[in-house]
Structure 1
Amino acid sequence: MSARTLYRKLVESHTVAALDAQNVLLFCDLHLMNEYTSPQAFAGLHDRGRSVPVPGQNVAVVSHIIPTHPVPSTLRVIADPASALQATHLAANCRRHGIPLFDTRDALQGIEHVVAPEHGMVRPGMVILCGDSHTTTYGALGALGFGIGTSEVEHVLATQTLVYRLAQDMCIRVDGVLPAGTTSKDLILSLIGRIGAQGARGFVVEFCGTAIEALSIEARFTLCNMAVEAGARGALIAPDQAAIDYVLARAPDITGEVRDAALAHWQTLASDADARFDVEHRFDAAEVVPHVTWGTSPDQVLAITGQVPRPDAQPDEVRRRSTEQALRYTRLTAGDAIAGTPVQHVFIGSCTNGRIEDLRAAAAVVRGRHVAEGVRAMVVPGSGAVKAQAEAEGLAALFTDAGFEWRQPGCSMCLAMNDDVLADGVRCASTTNRNFEGRQGRGAITHLMSPAMAAAAAVTGCITDVRQLALAPNQELNHV
């Protein structure tokens, strides 16, 4: 057998049938659903009189439209009628088909991409589908995850398979050590800036190298989560001992002979030494500094020490016009330093940076400080489990004492589909994954950055190089 990449191994092991040279029928180990991409899929299923053959391999979460007001989980109410109807329909459909659901008032409710791995649902070698583009997150554990459309959700519900067009292979190797004060969010923003928002279009990216191996699992989630912002159709990191330990700690059902078989299989989940990639990139982690977006696409990003780009310095007419449009929207001045730009809002959360390590990194910056005057700052845990852990560790009290709002779990201000919406002209330091026009509210301006950088913006009132802020003893920002 010829040498294969990890991506090819996962596809081949899940291929039910080869349809033609470019398409296969792919088996799905786990299908995740949310309230806004599933209603039409269930309606189509019912119109055809079909059922869900393996409901236990489907899981649903209410996450995008749910308010995050700081009330007890048992009192959470979706006031918006249309949003409430979506949640009600999801609950009814899950009851009808026996599909597990993390509902509105479930204490463990959260964002699907945070909930699934923390409960041991995600395991190396799986294929995981969801009607959400950031399903690439699961590549951090050696699982092939990617987003699908509503019609495809219906197909998966009915058959537990998907008609899948094969991708190309890309390798991104990052060696070296991330400097103090930089994180995986800075790394992925830097990479997107280097290869562009379409740089991985049509590819599944495998991340490797000594810098990747040194990252925590939660940091790897961040990396794989945002690979889609470079156009990637998937992202993978070969499972190592850290990934295996993470899974086993959360999957009590993996015991005895099942454990032995799983461990043996997981050892095979790596690209062969002589496997060929269609495209390869190499980067040095030592060159990474804190990054922040300045425009309206994740690839419109620069180092915190940099200046806002000038349209006339762009290499072509398309880039020049794009830069001009982004500057009009963000109301920045070309040539100005990005550091020192005032912010009115700070958001820490999302499927990109709403995990416990993210909150710890932000807390390390906030400790001993207070939210700057004129800034509204929010922390939204990625799940009920993250929220409970942060409260047990004293992080919630630290944030609230410093002037942050401590909210209930949900997608919240990652996108304007719930009550957490910014007004026109409000500038937000955000740990989310997209800075598109109107993403956080009509006319709202989003600057993507790491949790530590967002925390620094909260306590200084402007975009700030977190490396300039002294931390409390024994606190670190690295590897998160």
Structure 2
Amino acid sequence: MSTEKKTLFDKIWEKHIVKNIPDGPSVLYIDTQFIHEVTSPQAFKGLEKRGLPVFRPKQIVATADHNVPTLHQELPIKEELSRIQVATLEENCKKFGVELYGLGNPFQGIVHVIGPELGVTQPGCTYVCGDSHTSTHGAFGSIAFGIGTSEVEMVMATQCLMQSRPKLMRINVDGELKKGVVSKDIVLYILSQISASGATGYFIEFAGSTIRSLSMEARMTICNMSIEMGARGGMIAPDQTTFDYIKGREFAPKGEEWDKKLAYWQTLYSEEGAQFDIEYNYKAEDIEPWITYGTNPGMGIGVTSHVPKLEEIPTEDHVNFEKSLNYMGLIPGENIKDHKVDYVFIGSCTNSRIEDLRMVADFVKGKKKADGVTVWIVPGSKQVEAQAKKEGIDKILEEAGFMLRQPGCSACLGMNEDKIPAGKYCVSTSNRNFEGRQGPNARTMLASPLTAAAAAITGKITDVRELLN
């Protein structure tokens, strides 16, 4: 019997191997595939061409999210490409017997928001989707990662996927977070330390007392952005917080099945002495509210810091750094604080859950947005929207001059009507600040919901700690 200490990743990976190819990848069994309107049409078409059915339709969860408008969802979609993609998803799901949570369905929403809130996402499982931020589901102690369209087809046809085993990284964060610092700040801080390519080829396990102290929704934010480090995915070992979150949800196990699953889930942790290829350690007290200044998520600084000077940047990065600042209209050495803001977007699969909305509402209650700032608050799902209305969050936001829109990916990626105009600055709770990501020549600064809300109230980048009671 092997006495080798196993990591959380090892335990799940080994349990899902169908076949090992000598000196090659493994054939991995996939428990659930999530699909949406953008990366599924070609996969369905491929099956049709080959005369194949979807092998296990009950293990696919479909929703419309990327291309949907976030206003007047009861009306036909105006943008032609968006309308075609959403209609095609509806037709394909009907044809192949796949459950679809489309527009008008009470479970519709961003794919990485609805999986967890419906209890579909569970520890010890494998999840894939034709979307890089599938890593979100790893917050439950599962192996979850994005795949390409040809792989979407492969999973539809076989419920399996060929995958090479990644290297393993552990990132430990210990200590207590300071006031005004939340999980988005943690992950932006880590990104600024290891860079947007620092975890390429790795699967990350996030650990340490700070990570364990986080709610499930905060953990999802961290795993969501593991992909921004170049990682294959990110995960956090399940614990009582995880089990309490899942219990009683729509598709969560019930009764005897719950007890059986829970007994297995409790075995899912990295054993003492288990080997990682690389390990990093960070202290919670070193993290302040964080914001990006450049055009990749690793280009971030504390809100009280200055944009780096050229001499503070490694020589090999000078060209990209200068190109990035030129695009952003920023000057090396200038303070980021007090920089004017035009738009604030609070939403996306990173930060559109009920806790994010509660955090914003608590902060803006009794305050008013600054003149000249447009604020979009986009819930991650119909369930989040309904909960926000039930709690009166919509009224608080309205009084502050914000508006609660309808669920969708919205201004995260400029694939729908919610685009940031050219040259305008948007403080965004989404996950990417690439050139043109939120619309042609839009300038995106990534931040936490708290920092974004502070910018909305003051009209400029603000240290939220100065406004907290």
TM-score range, shorter chain: over 0.9
Alpha-carbon distance between aligned partners in 1 of 2:282 and 2:75, rounded to the nearest angstrom: 45
- Would you say 1:11 and 2:4 are equivalent positions? no
String of CA shifts for 1:198-227, please: whole Å, max 9, x gaps.
111111100111001100100000000001
Residues 153-302 of structure 1: pairs in structure 2 closer than 5 A: 153-251=152-250, 254-302=253-301
- Partner residue in 2 for 1:61: 63
Alpha-carbon distance between aligned partners in 1 of 2:23 and 2:113, rounded to the nearest angstrom: 35
How far apart are residue 161 of structure 1 and its match?
0.5
Seen in structure 2, the aligned counterparts of structure 1 residues 419 and 48 have a Cα distance that, compared at 3 Å, is same
- Partner residue in 2 for 1:396: 394
Alpha-carbon distance between aligned partners in 2 of 1:393 and 1:351, rounded to the nearest angstrom: 21
Residues 30-41 of structure 1: pairs in structure 2 closer than 5 A: 30-41=32-43
- Partner residue in 1 for 2:453: 455
Structure 2: runs of 5 or more not aligned: none
Matching residue's letter, 1:309: P
How far apart are residue 131 of structure 1 and its match?
0.3
How far apart are residue 253 of structure 1 and its match?
5.2
Matching residue's letter, 1:136: S
Say which SS state the counterpart of residue 247 (structure 2) adopts: helix
How far apart are residue 22 of structure 1 and its match?
4.3
Q: Contact 1:304–1:339 at 8 Å: present in 2 too? A: yes
Matching residue's letter, 2:103: T
1:409 to 387, 407, 410: 407
What TM-score does the superposition give when structure 1 sets the normalisation length?
0.96
String of CA shifts for 1:99-145, please: whole Å, max 9, x gaps.
11111222321100001110010010010000000000011111111
Q: Contact 1:22–1:166 at 8 Å: present in 2 too? A: no
- Partner residue in 2 for 1:21: 23
How far apart are residue 78 of structure 1 and its match?
1.3
Q: Contact 1:29–1:127 at 8 Å: present in 2 too? A: yes
How far apart are residue 406 of structure 1 and its match?
1.6
Alpha-carbon distance between aligned partners in 1 of 2:377 and 2:77, rounded to the nearest angstrom: 20
Residues 46-125 of structure 1: pairs in structure 2 closer than 5 A: 46-69=48-71, 71=72, 73=73, 75-125=74-124
Deviation larger for 427-436 or 263-272: 263-272
Seen in structure 2, the aligned counterparts of structure 1 residues 252 and 48 have a Cα distance that, compared at 3 Å, is closer
Matching residue's letter, 1:455: A
1:466 to 461, 464, 467: 464
Q: Contact 2:295–2:324 at 8 Å: present in 1 too? A: yes
String of CA shifts for 1:295-343, please: whole Å, max 9, x gaps.
0000000000100112233222x31111101110000111111000001
Matching residue's letter, 2:297: P
Alpha-carbon distance between aligned partners in 2 of 1:345 and 1:260, rounded to the nearest angstrom: 48
How far apart are residue 251 of structure 1 and its match?
4.7
- Partner residue in 1 for 2:125: 126
What TM-score does the superposition give when structure 2 sets the normalisation length?
0.98
Q: Contact 1:372–1:458 at 8 Å: present in 2 too? A: yes
Seen in structure 2, the aligned counterparts of structure 1 residues 464 and 49 have a Cα distance that, compared at 3 Å, is same
How far apart are residue 240 of structure 1 and its match?
0.3
1:334 to 323, 332, 335: 332
- Partner residue in 1 for 2:319: 321
- Partner residue in 2 for 1:420: 418
Matching residue's letter, 1:228: I
Alpha-carbon distance between aligned partners in 2 of 1:313 and 1:186, rounded to the nearest angstrom: 22
Matching residue's letter, 1:457: A
Alpha-carbon distance between aligned partners in 1 of 2:254 and 2:41, rounded to the nearest angstrom: 37
Matching residue's letter, 1:352: T
- Partner residue in 2 for 1:370: 368
How far apart are residue 257 of structure 1 and its match?
2.6
- Partner residue in 2 for 1:358: 356
Alpha-carbon distance between aligned partners in 2 of 1:470 and 1:34, rounded to the nearest angstrom: 39
Question: Which aligned runs of 4 or more in structure 1 are off by greater than 2 angstroms?
Answer: none
Alpha-carbon distance between aligned partners in 1 of 2:333 and 2:272, rounded to the nearest angstrom: 46
Alpha-carbon distance between aligned partners in 1 of 2:340 and 2:112, rounded to the nearest angstrom: 31
Q: Contact 2:120–2:251 at 8 Å: present in 1 too? A: no
Q: Contact 2:376–2:405 at 8 Å: present in 1 too? A: yes
- Partner residue in 1 for 2:305: 306
Say which SS state the counterpart of residue 444 (structure 2) adopts: strand
- Would you say 1:383 and 2:385 are equivalent positions? no
Say which SS state the counterpart of residue 238 (structure 1) adopts: coil
Seen in structure 2, the aligned counterparts of structure 1 residues 286 and 22 have a Cα distance that, compared at 3 Å, is farther
Alpha-carbon distance between aligned partners in 1 of 2:212 and 2:32, rounded to the nearest angstrom: 26
Alpha-carbon distance between aligned partners in 1 of 2:161 and 2:78, rounded to the nearest angstrom: 35
Please give the root-mean-square deviation of Cα atoms over the aligned residues, in Å: 1.1
Matching residue's letter, 2:450: A
- Partner residue in 2 for 1:474: none
How far apart are residue 34 of structure 1 and its match?
0.7
Seen in structure 2, the aligned counterparts of structure 1 residues 321 and 108 have a Cα distance that, compared at 3 Å, is same
Matching residue's letter, 1:234: G
Seen in structure 2, the aligned counterparts of structure 1 residues 66 and 253 have a Cα distance that, compared at 3 Å, is closer
Q: Contact 1:110–1:384 at 8 Å: present in 2 too? A: yes
Sequence identity, in percent? Answer: 46
Deviation larger for 87-96 or 148-157: 87-96
